[in-house]
A and B are shown apart, each in its own frame.
Chain A
């Protein structure tokens, strides 16, 4: 278990539906991140395809393992780096079923996946029209720490990050495709998730315009005390790096003892009331 790691956030723009182009962009970022001695690099939600894929979602989906994860595995191995990226996953058992998935890859290959649990289907979002929601919140015990992943809208539900934290995650990676009109929400929520869980949060967002929808970027790494360690530009491509120090977590927990003060009996009540809403 390492004490410190260097995290890179690749705030990229995508060409919708052009996987080869997007993969080339990702390869460039991986190589640059490695040059800057990053241990892990994060890419935005659905970074392989772009976010607004609409009916093309099905043709762009791939199984895991599949062509895209194989390319990422090769890049991770060659550059000796961990990679978290987003893609449309084709369900191996039911091929007409697709998921909005994040994949964690180590230099030794794919470690695991996270399927987005909360699929926004309101305003301009239509994810439930296409994707099947995920049901699992895995925490990956890796050479670079205990990592949990959430995707974009999941961050509105504190229980996902809390669940990851209680399973031992010390770094919560949130990959996102958040449009400009929601910037304020994400700036608040990313800090809140870090602080209330006394965990590191690495948030990486898309940039560029897809279907008239502008993504704002603003990727950031936040410390367990809410401090912003690194902050990317708004509205343009960027690569930022920040060092996270896991040994700071216990210290912060004495000052922000949110986990010590958890009240389990409230969770039961929350469950009951949620059903009755």
Chain B
């Protein structure tokens, strides 16, 4: 991070949780910092800034991204969904509801990242095995739960997703 970067702002236009946003950012600034500080979306948490823990995971064009490893300028023209964008008003996203039902969180700090990973998984695969779920979650670290309740939640969410698809 060199000081001469300061001041030279680039205009980044992106969609965040369905809303078009325009922000002027230094090229070196990370997506997570722009989400949290410039856009006030503090639901996304920074656990390590090293791309290891997965706490800062968000969805960019539907795919999981570690927002501590992506520059904000790289999100130009793209569609970002954070934890604040999962629920539809008062109605929780089915994955959020499954996390509630399974008591899948304790301190909750890693939860937004797990939610993003779980959303990506159940939208891709409505019948994952427990082993596949655990492998899919391997890039997200939780220090509180021992993972079992999170795995339970993802199983429920996948089942709910499958029922929705059958009904639809």
Question: Bound pair: A and B?
Answer: no
